[in-house]
Amino acid sequence: MCGIAGVARIDGGMLTPAADELLRDVACTLAHRGPDDERLLREDQVGLAFTRLSLVDPVGGGQPLVSEDGSVVLIANGEVYNHRELAASLPAGARFKTQSDCEVLLHLYQRDGLNFLDRVNGMIAVVLWDRKRGKLLFARDRFGIKPLFYHRNRERIVFASEIKALFADPATPRRLDWSGALADYGMSSAPALVHEPVNTWFEDIHLAPAATVMEIDLKDGATREHRYWSLPGAAADSDASDEEYIARYRDLLAESVRDCAMADAELGLFLSGGVDSSAVAALAGQSGLRTFSVLTGSTVLNGDAEWSHRAARLLGVPNEQILFDRDRVPGIEEWKNLLWLTETPLCSPEQFYKYELHRHARLRHPEIKGMLLGAAADEFNGGYAIGYAGGGDWDDFLANIGAMARRTSLDEQPRMAGWWEVSDLPLLKDAAVRGTRDDGFADPYDAFVAWKYRSLQQYNVWHEDRTAAGNSVEARVPFLDHRLVELVTSIPAARRANLLWDKRILREAMVGILPEELIRRPKVPFFHGEGQRHTYRTFTRMLAQGGDALLEEAFSSERAREFIHQDGVRESLRRLERDPENGSVEHLLRLVNLGLLERMTAELPVHPAAASKAPQPVTHPYADWEDAEEQIRELTLQRTPVDPEAVYAMRSDTVLACAPAQPGTWYLLVDGTCEFVLDEDEEPALTALLRSLDGETSLEKVLASAGLSLDGLRPQLEDVLDLGLVVEAAPKGAVRVR
């Protein structure tokens, strides 16, 4: 994980010594990506800057790398995992100056031209200068794991691993693309399958496309693109059995993890206790592999904290749980520093927690320079199938993603939408709305996978790169091995339900490698679902601190005031303060982030390496979950105090109901929707208490009348109070609205 950047004349002219200052500035901006070395090169039309994090050949692997004949110069960010195999395929006599995994790219280019990445397995962003041919090449790995941004005009092109480095160039525009950002489906979470290019969020800033080699002529700027890889579609048929697919998947994943564990420096691993990260931990085969987990109110309630502890014990690896107690709220400058590091309005609680995990690992264990992740297992292996099925099966999943594909088409042809509104029965087939569109996605599953391929680049690999890079750590993603993805995306359509429902291909592949309880543990979201309110409460407090300081700064620019409804945003924040689940803190954050980024581009913040740091993250060590659970809950969960003398009632929009056909089963309906089911046999005391609350009698008297003890009910009562399902009734004499 390094920083690469530079500038080149694309009008036939030459760079002057004035370019040296720009190279120094961009290298300084990217210092966090490569603290181990910095090198600059300016010759003729091209200037290159390289900052290095040394994981392979720490002594001799510096860049730029130059071919033996001096005709080709290269800088690269990332890893070529199969470099030894590729080197062995070169003609006899090929000579290497270093042990760097990236040097083989020079030889491959000289042999294969624009096809030089066809057999490369890895995650890379490459800038290559062909002196002899007068060409500048940009190239990125198949999934865009490693970034490369650029801005160009008629005279020159500037490029860098991060957008903020481009802003070191006075000639690069610094304008947020408000219209493009607000229209992005990812910002509004609209249910549509998007296949458009990745959004860079800033005007005239471009991202070199993944799986593509761009070739730029330095004489006139003429550019051509060579795409060397695309997602394969489903095979028409296959003689392979399900068991053979599973075995092949197991072998490829094991090989990918071994590749990603290749380093001359120590690696760590983020462990959630799910099958994805547990599989990587088991296949890495390193008994001393340090693992790191998030300990928050959300991960306590969704089970990740407990399961990561259990998984580490079962796998025999150490686990450090970084504690975010109920009082840990990101500070104003802390959030702005993270936002500038990630340079995306999609920055959210997930990025904060992951950044802090990397920060803890680097501070506590400075020898760790790489982090293995279980990320990206869901996108291609069916990890989202159950969620998108809405409680149904594979056919419901296909129907629902088909509706999302239709939504995308209707947005492009809105006049057709009426045909889907006039009847609850379908009158037209989806082919009618696709019309003449030739996107190659007649199969909604293919369209879904292509959307996930795009969203990986827009969100997942973007923030995994930045949160790691901000701590001088390289994130490694074994599930993004193109051989794995090719295998699962080429499964015949008729076989998908067997192999891809709830990641069956991965779960079955882990039989005999992982304990059964880890294999079968259901997928849970990082902080959504049960426990979401604890994360929402934290980030609501962050937005409200200092008298809504982040909001006010976000509103301070003229363009922000033009687009953002300030009163609406403020009132949304007030609602979240009253009820953490009364809205979406992520949507508020995205709008605030846009306003903050607008301010930052007007007055550039300090470089990430020079930014102020928050207090060092702390861990919460414990030997056994059951023994420590009550203390952990006390640290992480917000508790609403229970007053025995207070009068409580069900909230006005909440009803406790029982169907005559199901005696003993009670339903908590919120606004007419069933949110919780209570069984009298399993929770007799709580059910009896809720049935007895009348809004007129004190809790103490209600408990005495029902023969209940507050001590035994306190945790459950605190939970329903925290959820807002039970509220303190209005004072005596006041008029209560039911």
Q: Which tokens is 607 given?
A: 């470089």
SS3 227: strand
Tokens of 702: 């209600």
Q: What tokens were used for 26?
A: 């961009």
Helix, strand or coil for residue 463? Answer: helix
Token pair of 412 as six digits: 């492009």
- Helix count (H) and strand count (E) of the chain? 30, 23
Q: Rounded to an integer, what distance in angstroms lies between the CA atom of residue 580 and that of residue 680?
A: 29
In a 13 Å sphere around the CA of 488, the CA atoms on its Cβ side amount to: 30
Strand partners, 8: 46, 157
Sequence-distant contacts of 90-99: CB under 8 A, at least 24 apart: 95/68, 97/60, 97/65, 97/68, 98/57, 98/60, 98/61, 98/62, 98/65, 99/56, 99/57, 99/60, 99/61
The strand pairing partners of 226, in sequence order, are 213
Residue at token pair 């990125």:
140
What Rg value do the Cα atoms of the chain yield, rounded?
A: 28
DSSP 8-class letter at 457:
I
CA distances from 280 to 141, 283, 402, 420, 461 (A): 21, 5, 33, 45, 17
Contact at 8 Å (CB) between 648 and 726?
yes
Instruction: Confirm if 572 and 588 have CB atoms less than 8 A apart.
Output: yes
Packing angle of the helix pair 585-602, 332-342 (nearest 10 deg) = 80
Place of tokens 């962003």: 125
Which residues, in sequence order, are CB contacts of 236 under 8 Å at separation 6+?
492
- H helices of 424-531, in order, are 430-434, 444-455, 461-469, 482-489, 496-500, 504-509, 516-520
Extended beta strands in 53-152, E state: 65-66, 72-80, 122-130, 135-140, 149-152
Contacts of residue 421, Cβ cutoff 8 Å, sequence gap at least 6: none
260 catalytically annotated: no
Buried b (16+ CB within 10 A) or exposed e, 187-223: beeeebbbeeebbbbbeebbbbbbbbbbbbebeebee
Residue 460 DSSP one-character state: I
Query: Pick from 126, 161, 200, 210: which is nearest to 33 by CA?
Result: 161
Angle of helix 332-342 relative to helix 349-364, nearest 10 degrees, comes to 90
Residue numbers annotated as active site: 2
